[in-house]
Amino acid sequence: MANHLGSLVESIKSKVRSLKKSKKPYVKMDKSASVKVEIRSRKARQLIDKTLKAADRPGKKQL
């Protein structure tokens, strides 16, 4: 059992070393189109909410 554990630890160490040596240890994924649309709609919703709050108080400070 100890022999298997030792070999497992050594294999993990070697994999970690190889990842450190490589320039890109992982591939960064771009945002999908649906995620981009979701972000835009959230920002638009926040702007609409902010505008409506300002419109509810006409005598107060503007945006």
Between CA 16 and CA 13 the distance in angstroms is: 5
Q: Distance of alpha carbon 52 from its chain centroid, rounded?
A: 30
40, pLDDT greater than 70: yes
More confident position, 48 or 59: 48
Q: Has this prediction a pTM greater than 0.95?
A: no
Confidence of residue 43 (pLDDT cuts 50, 70, 90): very high
Q: Which range has the top average pLDDT, 5-9, 15-19, 42-46?
A: 42-46
- Is it the case that residue 59 has pLDDT exceeding 80? no
Angstrom distance (rounded) from CA 32 to CA 36? 6
Q: Locate tokens 């960064």: which residue? A: 28
